[in-house]
Amino acid sequence: MDDSPRLLALLRRTARHRGAAIGMFLIAALVLAALLAPFLSPYDPYAQSLDEGLSGPTAAHWFGQDKFGRDVFSRLVHGARLSLAVGIGTVAISLLIGLAAGSMAGFLGGWADRVFTGACDVLLAFPGILLAIGIAAVRGPSFGNVLFALSVLGWVGYARVIRAQVLKVKAMEFVESARAIGAPPSRMLLAHILPNALSPILVEATFGIARAIVAEAGLSFLGLGVAPPAASWGSMIGDGRHFLFVAPHLVTAPGAAILLTVMAFNFVGDGLRDALDTRS
């Protein structure tokens, strides 16, 4: 079965939502910036020119230079890679685990479902960001550790949504008929139930990317994100806040980048939700 016409139709319906259209445009720009970072950034994001530290925006350095004389614009563009990678990576890992756990629990029911629900309740009792801070603090700052710290609890939300969807779809008539004609359980789950249970997950995942980007920025702000000298928007704000009185441009540029990115994903999430809502 070819899903691309359905996907295109969905995108078109989403783009009718004005906010979502702006969001999609921003995300496309961001993805382009991330992909083309080495060509877009006028300077090496790590190269220091110490004597030019804290210079404000100029024609040569559009967003100014940080304490080490590094070009803020180049670091911002490279930071986009990192933010997107963390956002998409975290959601992908969480989704994979959540999809497997949630669909099995919903499909099998019985004791498997009870164990799953109990485990979810226990895991959701942990404050997510505190656990992530704890993990990052123990394991040290690195890209892999950020992904790990954010995915450890990140999957639980997806798993619960999937389980609820699977339970709902499982009781529908077309699934009953598939069972009646003797379809094996694996085929019922993969071919009939899951494809019809995915829409809410798509919305959830879009918001999830935004949440992961904010969480990464938070961890990096605290010095627990990626290791220096890697450019992360959060660590740029974390380093820049010490110069709030002398070089406010160091926090405004990455701050605006985080704001726009998170806003874009949330707008698209809203649009998707409306587009997938069968009542509308």
Partner 1 sequence: MNRTPLPRLAAFFSLALLAACSQRLPIDEGRLVIALPGTPVSLDPRLATDAYGEQILQMTHAALLRLDAAGNPVPDLASGWESPDPLKYVFTLRSGARFHDGRPLTSADVKFTFDWVLDPANRSPHRAMYRHVRSIDAPDARTVVFRLSEPFAPFLSTMVRGIVPAGSRAGGYAPPAGAGPYRIDDVSPDGAAELSAFDGCLDGPPAIRRVTVKFIPDSNVRFLELRMGSVNFALNGVDPDMLAAAEKTGRLAVEEAAGGNVSYLGFNLRDRALSDPRVRRAIALAIDRDAIVRTIWEERADVVDTILPAGSWARDPDLPKVLPDPFRARRLLDEAGYRDPDGGGPLPRLRLTYKTSQNEVRRRVATVVQEQLRQVGILVEIQSLEWGTFFSDVKKGNFQLYGLTWVGISDPDIYFHAFHSASAPPDGANRGGYANARVDRLTEAARREPSREKRREMYREVQRILARELPVFPLWAGRNLLVRDRRLRGFELTPDESYHAVRDLRIDPPAAGPAPAGTPR
Report the interface residues with partner 1, using CB under 8 A: 46-48, 50-51, 53-54, 67-69, 137, 140-141, 223, 227-229, 241-246
Angstrom distance (rounded) from CA 103 to CA 177: 20
Opening angle at CA 141, ends 239 and 143, nearest 5: 105
Q: Which is nearer to partner 1, 136 or 150 (CB)?
A: 136
From the CB of 223, what's the least distance to partner 1, in Å? 6
Sole residue written with tokens 């999937």: 162
Q: Which is nearer to partner 1, 48 or 199 (CB)?
A: 48
From the CB of 222, what's the least distance to partner 1, in Å? 10
Burial class of 63 by CB neighbour count within 10 A (0 to 12, 13 to 18, 19+): buried
Yes or no: say if 264 and 23 are a contact pair by the CB < 8 Å rule: yes
From the CB of 92, what's the least distance to partner 1, in Å? 26
**3-state DSSP helix/strand/coil percent for the chain, to nearest 5?**
75, 0, 25
From the CB of 210, what's the least distance to partner 1, in Å? 28
Yes or no: say if 111 and 119 are a contact pair by the CB < 8 Å rule: no
From the CB of 43, what's the least distance to partner 1, in Å? 13
Q: Which is nearer to partner 1, 119 or 222 (CB)?
A: 222
